[in-house]
Structure 1
Amino acid sequence: MKKKLIHATPIAVAAAALALSGCGGNDDNPRPSISTIKNIVVIYAENRSFDNLYGTFPGANGLQNATAASKLQLDRSGQPLATLPVAWGGLTQPKQSVTVTEAQTANMPNQPFSINDPAGLNVPLNIATRDLYHRFYENQMQIDGGKNDMFVAWADSGGLVMGNYITNADTLPLWKVAQKYTLADNFFMGAFGGSFLNHQWLVCACTPTFPNALNMNAKTSVSAVENDGTSLTLDPTSPASAMDGKPLFKNSGNLTPDLYAVNTMQPPYQPSGNAPADGGDTALADPNPAAGTTLPPQTATHIGDLLDKANVSWAWYGGAWGAAVAARQSGQWTSVTAGNLTVPNFQTHHQPFNYFADLAPGTEARAKHLLDGGMDGSEFIKAIDAGTLPQVAFYKPQGNLNEHAGYTDVESGDQHIAEVISHLEKSPQWKNMVVVVTYDENGGFWDHVSPPKGDRWGPGSRIPALVVSPLAKKGFVDHTQYDTTSILRLITRRFSLPMLPGLTNRDEKLKANGAQPMGDLTNALDIAL
């Protein structure tokens, strides 16, 4: 009895033929049910749009599908740019073996370009570019109602936002993994903007709050926003054209006018980018530092709470977490603090559970669930090899291995994640495992696909996602609409959990706007539903 292959693409004709012939399951050998999944592993990398890394992947909705209109970038006036502006400050980070200066990026055509094109800028995948804006309001202004035509206009990096990489199985280690399993090409970041907010949406499908901000130093971080609720108010001195410099805003802060935290805030608990208060508890961050960037403990329900109630084991493995804790305790924090290029460049705002009151220092829950992933993921890999991963495991690579522009390159992180997957494939738990590899957000890089119109918080721009599993469809490109919350949906469906409010609200808003509700990644799996 033949089974229909959902969302099949030409990427692997042979694989499709096998599936259609019934090898994925028949009356005598039925496909496994969702209960076959015993372990879900989430690997969360950093800051790449789909087109930036997978724009030429066979069978995917890539650069070849981008229309002339979707490629053309408009200036702040709404008129097409004659050329791309320079990459302000240069395209590459300083002190590297390859350097591309600001002047070398002048007069580039107004269209996407390949950063590593040998006939062009020729910046290989192992060289870090400068960072780019990836912030809540700026991302919405760049998306421009779905036209994606103002990425350059509202960037602080000039033409770099239009950059992508020529990649294949020989240059990008995870490309081979995508060829072998499932690549999702219609997967969007859960929230507009940057890493802080998208990590929160990964674990709770919610946006943090700071209700007392106006009575604290955080009051200076309330954004100045136009009446549309999505655009920042320009400073009168802001250059009129992207050709003349980056935009200047009256206040692009961390908080919305109604006191939701949307850009980078620091955890209230150590390890935090904010030191303890003078004479205060050394396990805590100063609750009211001069910069006003310590978020108060959050009390919203997160996925860990639901898993605990259902007696499902789970853990967050933070790469270099143990090193960061030790550095804070010993006073050597400069070796790991955010913004420092010293390995491992631990990023405190990439640890979302460290913001929640029920996982505070000293609690049994913290000791049980917030685990050290080890330097270079060594402790996480030990658990993989020993077959002792909990039923749900999140892994966050340390800063120099997460692919974030500005402080690391693509190649080192991609190779690291591919090596972790190699261990997972050999794990005693592998046969019942589903691994999801994705990126927290686009890092400011342009993508040609319009995100569906959802709720106030997202979804934002399109990002890569891989589903890796013996249960995954092989050699398959999945066009199902997903976003970061689809990971929570998969966990929820598999373990029969109640829906987090943010998931229900997003689907209601999507449907109200004429879009489909978000998928739960099961279309990427060869299982019976």
Structure 2
Amino acid sequence: MRKHTKRLLSTAGVGSLAVSTIAAGMIGFGMTPASANDDHGGTTTPIKHVVVIFGENVSFDHYFATYPQAANTAGETQQGTGIAAPIFTAAKNTPKNIATLAHDNLLAPNNPNSVQPGRLSPSQAITCDQDHEYTAEQKAYNGGLMDKFVQNTSMDACTGGQFGRPGLTMDYYDGNTVTGIWNYAQNFAMSDSHFSTTFGPSSPGALNLVSGQTHGVTEFTATGQPVKPAASDYTVKFPDANGVGTMTEDPDPVYDDCSNKSHASKNNLAGMQGKNIGDLLNDKGVSWGWFQGGFAPTTAATTTTPAACQATHTNIAGATVTDYSPHHEPFQYYQSTANPHHLAPASMAEIGHDGQANHQYDTTDFAKVVNSDTMPAVSFLKAGSYQDGHAGYSDPLDEQKFITQQVNAIQNSKNWNSTAVILAYDDSDGWYDHVAAGVKNSSNTSDDAAWCLNAYNQGVPMAGGYADRCGPGPRQPLVVISPFAKKNYVDHTQTTQSSILRFIEDNWHTGQLRDGSADATAGSIKAMFNFENQRDIKLILNESNGTVVSRGKGDDEQ
């Protein structure tokens, strides 16, 4: 999400009439032809359903610093409930060669940063939000030394009962708090080499998931009028003569009535040119949808007034949080895949298909189809803000409830045997992580620090010639949950957010997005699967604490 101390765009109303009159301005990039053999009735693998649960703002070390060893400190309780924190005991055959802080001997007192890493307890789930801007994250890398996080991304004090301390960015949770995701890793497959496609916050991360592209953005006023480059408030970085540039911040989408509703100021908005994975799936007739908490409007649009999305929930600290965050919804930046007025599907049969909702839905709509023959082939699930895991207004315990609820429902559905659930994140929030991927896509602007500038000067290419797309960025968790996922497996293949995009493209023969999209070079996540061995597993977790309730008959023991 946007950094709270330097908000370039807030969330103000785009009138429904203004949105409807915005010119499309889309540039088609074309597709490469499908080349894989179709051995599975329309897909290249036995996977017929992909569900991406896309969380907020977590680095790999923030959740896995000591995996698979938890502190199991006596007497600890979970924030918000006061119930005893769960004990976590790792399986004996858990892989040992995992790039964690513990494995690489970078816990206290051996860390090169000015503050040593510290464990956050289950009673410290709500913390301050960290600095996760494009430049700040690069500066934290300090040319690859990974030792300037405290100076550049740590936000140590905040209000509203959130936990903070000097050097907070260095801190991490273990299996006594993020119990659910550790249990998924124990029973399915995880990666210790998965990264943001580029540096920066939520909106670029979401765009990299669905298009592998943060270039192609145009700026609009709060009323939906195009902005000339000279009048830009820097929503668009380094625009060309036509005002088209790169997104590195968190502007709200122009094709969304509910943009700019959460703040008094009405700042400029953004629209993307080009295509995304939704366009490619539509071209192939493959069902798909983005399902986000709070997408259903609290006030419907009329011919003269836009819809409003003001539903709220309370997090474990008792804070009231607005469910819907427009800049977390990447398909709303593209006119071709937007549902500006947040129209509900006309019927259950429309979900996943063309119709008035245009593939954009509330999470309640996913619950209607998960156990049906009409469950979409590709589904993206985004929690309401209080459950999305974003520090400041959400937390790992609220996030765990959403993830386990969705995964339990999928496993209990008729579609489980052909499904892959992918747990991934949009950015790192600026939380410390000690592993840097070598720069694969360089940049050379005033926004770039030594990590990216040195790569550019050494001849690392800049895809499409588009600046401010330096990456890969920070390392993040990635977990694959499926009957075809390898058991208790850790993949070391270097992947990015756009690797998920590439898997969907390859599985459904869509071809790739061009014009420098990161899908062309994204590493494969297929090593996390064994498509020749469908396991008899149904791992049902407790939605309150992430502990194991039951496993499949043939998969009871680790």
Fold shared by both chains (TM-score > 0.5): yes
- TM-score (normalised: structure 1): 0.68
Between the aligned partners of 1:400 and 1:50, the Cα distance in structure 2 is: 21
Which amino acid in structure 1 is aligned with residue 269 of structure 2? T
Which of the residues 102, 108, 111 maps onto 1:71? 111
Q: CA deviation at 1:528?
A: 5.6
Shift in Å at residue 209 of structure 1? 3.6
2:62 maps to 52
Instruction: Give the whole-Å Cα distance in 2 for the aligned partners of 1:332 and 1:506.
Output: 34
Contact 2:279/2:337 (8 A) holds in 1: no
1:19-76 Cα deviation digits (max 9, x unpaired): xxxxxxxxxxxxxx94311111111011111111112223331112335598312xxx
One of 351, 360, 366 as aligned partner of 1:370? 360
Q: Could you report, residue by residue, the CA deviation over 1:151-185 in whole angstroms, capped at 9, with x for unpaired residues? A: 111125141110111225x7522221121111111
Aligned to 1:243: none
1:35 and 2:71 aligned: no
Pick from 251, 254, 257: which aligns with 2:238? 257
SS of alignment partner, residue 431 of structure 1? helix
**SS of corresponding position for 1:467:** strand
1:129 deviates by: 0.5
The within-5 A match list for 1:333-348 is: 335=311, 341-348=319-326
Amino acid paired to 2:331: F
Report if the CA contact (8 A) 2:51-2:422 is conserved: yes
Matched letter for residue 41 of structure 1: V
User: CA 1:114–1:387 in structure 2 vs 1: closer, same or farther (change >3 Å)?
Assistant: farther
Given the superposition, is the C-alpha separation of residues 66 and 437 from structure 1 closer, same or farther in structure 2, using an over 3 Å criterion? same
Which residue does the alignment assign to 1:491?
504
CA displacement at 1:502 relative to structure 2: 6.2
What do you get for the CA RMSD once the two structures are aligned?
A: 3.3
1:64 partner SS: coil
Q: TM-score, normalised by structure 2?
A: 0.65
Compared CA separation, residues 212 and 161, structure 1 to 2 (3 A): closer
Whether the 8 Å contact between 2:498 and 2:518 is mirrored in structure 1 is no
Aligned counterparts of 1:366 and 1:188: Cα–Cα separation in 2: 35
Cα shift at 1:219: 3.8
Q: 1:358 aligned to 2:344?
A: no
Amino acid at match of 1:293: N
Tell me how far apart the structure 2 counterparts of residues 146 and 219 of structure 1 sit (CA, whole Å).
36
- 1:271 to partner: Cα distance: 3.8
Work out whether residues 41 and 435 of structure 1, in 8 Å CA contact, stay in contact via their aligned partners in 2: yes
Query: In the alignment, residue 167 of structure 1 is paired with which amino acid?
Result: G
Give the aligned partner of residue 226 of structure 1. none
For 1:482 and 1:438, locate their aligned partners in 2 and report how far apart those are by CA, in whole Å: 11
1:112 aligns to what?
117
* Corresponding residue pairs, total: 398
Note the 1:317-466 alignment, pairs <5 A: 317-323=291-297, 326=300, 335=311, 341-360=319-338, 361=340, 367-374=357-364, 379-455=365-441, 456=443, 457=469, 458-466=471-479
Residue 257 of structure 1 aligns to which amino acid in structure 2?
F
CA drift at 1:451:
2.1
SS at match of 2:53: strand
Identity among equivalent pairs (%): 28
Q: Per residue, is there more helix in 1 or in 2?
A: 1
CA–CA distance in structure 2, aligned partners of residues 358 and 369 of structure 1: 10
| Secondary structure of the structure 1 residue equivalent to 2:150 | coil
Distance of 1:71 and 1:324 partners within structure 2: 48
CA 1:447–1:48: 2 relative to 1, 3 Å: same
> Compared with structure 1, are the counterparts of its residues 506 and 219 closer, same or farther at alpha carbon in structure 2 (3 Å cutoff)?
farther
SS at match of 1:437: strand
Q: CA deviation at 1:325?
A: 6.1
CA offset at residue 423 of structure 1?
A: 0.9
Report what 2:195 is aligned to.
188
Are the equivalent residues in 1 in contact too, given 2:207–2:214 (CA < 8 A)? yes
Q: Does the 8 A contact of 1:272 with 1:348 survive in 2?
A: yes
- Once residues 291 and 217 of structure 1 are traced to their aligned partners in structure 2, the CA distance between those partners, rounded to angstroms, is 18
Cα pair 1:200 1:208 within 8 Å, conserved:
no
Q: Is the contact between residue 181 and residue 468 of structure 1 (CA under 8 Å) also seen in structure 2?
A: yes
Q: Which amino acid aligns with 2:64?
A: Y
1:94 corresponds in structure 2 to: none
Q: Tell me how far apart the structure 2 counterparts of residues 309 and 154 of structure 1 sit (CA, whole Å).
A: 44
The answer to whether residue 196 in structure 2 is matched with residue 197 in structure 1 is: no
Aligned residue in 2 for 1:307? 281
Structure 1 residues 505 and 462, CA gap change in structure 2 (3 angstroms)? closer
Q: The residue matched to 1:44 in structure 2 has which SS?
A: strand
2:133·2:199 contact (CA, 8 Å) conserved in 1?
Answer: yes
* Compared CA separation, residues 495 and 322, structure 1 to 2 (3 A): same
Give 3-state SS (helix, strand or coil) of 2:123's partner: coil
Once residues 334 and 371 of structure 1 are traced to their aligned partners in structure 2, the CA distance between those partners, rounded to angstroms, is 16
Stretch moving more, 199-208 or 60-69: 60-69
**1:147 alignment partner in structure 2:** 145
Q: Structure 2: where are the runs of 5+ without partners?
A: 1-42, 69-94, 157-166, 221-225, 240-244, 344-353, 444-468, 534-558
Q: Which residue number corresponds to residue 186 of structure 2?
A: 179
The CA distance in 2 between the partners of 1:299 and 1:523, in whole Å, is 33
The C-alpha deviation readout for 1:54-109, integer Å capped at 9, x for no partner, is 12223331112335598312xxxxxxx4xxxxxxxxxxxxxxxxxxxxxxxxxxxx
Distance 1:184 1:325 in 2: 42
Distance, in Å, in 2 between the alignment partners of 1:418 and 1:256 is 38
1:527 aligned to 526, 531, 536, which one? 531
What displacement does 1:440 show? 1.0
**2:61 touches 2:101 (CA, 8 Å); kept in 1?**
yes
SS across alignment from 1:312: coil
C-alpha distance in 2, partners of 1:389/1:503?
A: 32
CA distance in structure 1 between the partners assigned to 2:217 and 2:506 by the alignment: 31
The change in CA–CA distance for 1:393 and 1:157 in structure 2 (over 3 A counts) is same
Q: Is the 8 A contact 1:130 1:406 kept in 2?
A: yes
Structure 1 counterpart of 2:111, one-letter code? K
Residue from 487, 492, 500 that aligns with 1:479: 492
Aligned residue identity for 2:237:
T
**Secondary structure in 2 aligned to 1:114?**
coil
**Matched letter for residue 210 of structure 2:** V
Structure 1 residue runs without a partner (length 5+)? 1-32, 74-80, 82-109, 117-122, 223-253, 277-284, 508-516
Residues in 2 aligned to 1:366 and 1:140: alpha-carbon distance in whole angstroms: 42
Aligned CA distance change for structure 1 residues 217 and 299 (closer, same or farther; 3 Å): closer
Q: In the aligned structure 1, how far is the partner of 2:230 from the partner of 2:252?
A: 12
Q: Is the 8 A contact 2:54 2:426 kept in 1?
A: yes
- Cα deviation for residue 344 of structure 1 reads 4.4
Residues in 2 aligned to 1:330 and 1:257: alpha-carbon distance in whole angstroms: 31
Question: 5 Å matches for 1:117-136?
Answer: 124=123, 127-136=125-134
Q: Distance in 2 between matches of 1:132 and 1:313?
A: 37
Equivalence for 1:293: 268
The separation in 1 between residues aligned to 2:137 and 2:119, in whole angstroms, is 22
Structure 1 residues 372 and 504 mapped into 2: Cα distance closer, same or farther (>3 Å)? closer
Instruction: Answer whether contact 2:428 2:475 (CA < 8 A) is retained.
Output: yes
